[in-house]
Amino acid sequence: MKFIKKIPKLLFALLILVVLPLFLPRDAFAQSARTATMVLSPGTSSVTPGSSVSINVNVNTGTKQISGIQIFADLTGTLPSNLLFTPTVITGLQTAFNQIDTTTSGRKLKVGLITTSPSTPYTTNGSTVTIGRLAFTAPSSGSMLFTFDLANTFILEYPTNSDIWVQPANNTPYATYTFGTGVTPTPTPTRIPTATPTPTTGMLSCSPAFQTININQATTLFASGGQSPYTWSVSPTGNPSFGTGSSFTTSFSSTGLKIVSVSSSDGQTSGCQISVLSPTPTPTAVPTATPTPQVTGTTTVSVKVSQSPDDAEEAISAKTVSLTSGDLELGSDYDVTGTISTPQIVGIRFAGLNIPQGAIITDAYIEFEADEATSRSTSVDIYAENSDNSLVFTTQSGNLSARPKTLTKVSWSNIPAWDTTGVKKTSPNLVSVIQQVVNRSGWKSGNALTMLITGSGKRTARSYDGLTAGPAGAPRLVVTFTTSTVTPSPTGTSCISNNGDSNGDGRIDLIDFTTWLLHYNPQTIVTGGPAVGDFNCSKNVDLIDFTIWLLHYTP
């Protein structure tokens, strides 16, 4: 039992170890054992015309399965306009994004590789992996000098329970390169004609970046920027899977998230995401049937506990369950002296909840009736059971504590004193926990939902079996939600914080990571609607969104 009590502390420590590295400077990782070494060849030197600098990652922690490699580096100095990064073809990995961002001071190199199949991640054996090469056309005279500085670079280990952070070889944060012609120009008295600047091609992009279509529905994507000709490829298979040109039309015979990649002849790669759904079949009209109208707009439902085994208490230490208690002690049950407490879990099941799957919850709370006057300091946490259709409680040992809980919770802290019996008391807003259950793919209107409450102190509410009010005093759940027959667009005007679930399928998995990776752009603030991959509604896609996904990763 002592070990079990330590579990929350262990989980908290693990949380700190995962999140803290995202906010510390690179030097903080210099002594970390969870590192790989970034190797820049040939090091600080002069590079002859036509040569390039290879960028390698040495996963020096032995054989590892990885789901992705992400490189972010600052390039500063005398930078040429045609500086290019060409990714290396690596079996088992594909380029998610590849660009040199010129919108900020200096230039920032962004490279992302992901596994081609989540079920068969890329495996390294501790050797060096060549990510790609930096090169540019040599100047007509003189030399070019720039520095390469790592920033926010890491490898995603599979399964994603830890990251391998990349640090430079020998903990040296900078590498300096000199690109030159190797030819000393000869002075001439004649007039030097004005040089015609080499036109820049700009960053390659694929549009639309995200869309939703039905099975076998054709869609056309467009390439811009970069240097033509363009080459297209689809993962998984499309109809067709490959193509060329500035536009590409394809369709899909299966549902799921599809990634369409486009490459330009100057070595850049970009991608679009397509969510393929099964079309909703048109119902066959039955002459004698009365059609049921589609629920739209705002609806409020109110459901009370309707039977004795739908509210219960479980002593946390003994795991004994009571189904017929005359009241519900939120927090702990105390002996007659009021000095000895028994911490417990309170479970409240609400059956027949008519909320459609995927509805947007706008308001939700539980209404209690006070059964005793209590004023001791009390704080509780409220979860929902994370299941499609919650079962009735039983007296089986640990029946409440064994139920899976939602990733999110609502804290009801420093609950004011309940001075008068029979008075209605309402919980805080429970939108976040109920939304997670309604978003589950197996949730259906009319299913049952259970709330689980734990904490310290004591507030006593009436139960279904209460001696004073009976079933009339039982807890009530009130939920307000909206639905729509139109699938919301990723470029709409509202955003809902969703803990990393980018496609609303109730799972937070590698598909959601891919969404974040493809749209990572911390410098850009999106206007006019939410950004794809913006899990915290901050109007940009940055490492905070990755942290949200990582902390809630539950494939």
The residue among 143, 153, 248 whose CA lies nearest residue 206 is 248
User: Residues, the chain, total?
Assistant: 555
Least confident range of 40-44, 473-477, 545-549: 40-44
What pLDDT score was predicted for residue 489? 42
Question: Which of the 8 DSSP states describes residue 309?
Answer: G
Q: 205-277, superfamily in CATH?
A: Immunoglobulins (2.60.40.10)
What pLDDT score was predicted for residue 338? 82
Q: Which of 35-49, 116-130, 156-170, 490-504 has the highest mean pLDDT?
A: 116-130
- Higher per-residue pLDDT: 368 or 544: 368
356 pLDDT above the threshold of 80: yes
What pLDDT score was predicted for residue 486? 43
Report whether CATH 3.40.50.2300 matches the domain 27-180: no
What residues form DSSP beta bridges with 479?
A: 301, 364
Portion of the chain with pLDDT greater than 90, in percent: 32
What pLDDT score was predicted for residue 415? 95
473-486 average pLDDT score: 84
Same fold, 27-180 and 205-277: yes
- Higher per-residue pLDDT: 455 or 112: 455
Q: Which of 99-108, 182-191, 335-344 has the highest mean pLDDT?
A: 335-344
What pLDDT score was predicted for residue 406? 92
Does pTM surpass 0.75? no
18 pLDDT above the threshold of 50: no
Question: Which of the 8 DSSP states describes residue 488?
Answer: P
194-203 average pLDDT score: 55
Q: Token pair of 547, please? A: 């942290």
What pLDDT score was predicted for residue 145? 66
What pLDDT score was predicted for residue 493? 45
Residue 279 burial by Cβ neighbours in a 10 Å radius (0-12, 13-18, 19+):
exposed
Name 261's Cβ contacts closer than 8 Å, sequence gap at least 6. 94, 95, 206, 232, 233, 234, 235, 269, 270, 271
For the chain, give the mean pLDDT.
76
| Cα dihedral 278, 284, 285, 286 sign | negative
250 pLDDT above the threshold of 90: yes
CA–CA dist 150, 166 (Å, integer): 8
Asked if 136 and 84 touch (Cβ cutoff 8 Å), the reply is yes
> Distances in Å between the alpha carbon of 356 and those of 163, 284, 295, 362, 402?
38, 22, 9, 14, 27
Least confident range of 11-15, 130-134, 164-168, 343-347: 11-15
540-551 average pLDDT score: 80
Q: Which of 221-235, 279-293, 415-429, 538-552 has the highest mean pLDDT?
A: 415-429
228 pLDDT above the threshold of 80: yes
Please name the CATH architecture into which domain 493-555 falls. Orthogonal Bundle (1.10)
- Higher per-residue pLDDT: 95 or 145: 95
What pLDDT score was predicted for residue 193? 52
What residues form DSSP beta bridges with 190?
A: none
Question: Sorting pLDDT into bands at 50, 70 and 90, what band is 292?
Answer: very low
The residue among 147, 186, 183, 143 whose CA lies nearest residue 47 is 143
Delimit the domains of the chain by residue range. Answer: 27-180, 205-277, 297-483, 493-555
Gyration radius of the chain over CA positions: 29
What pLDDT score was predicted for residue 297? 75
What pLDDT score was predicted for residue 205? 84
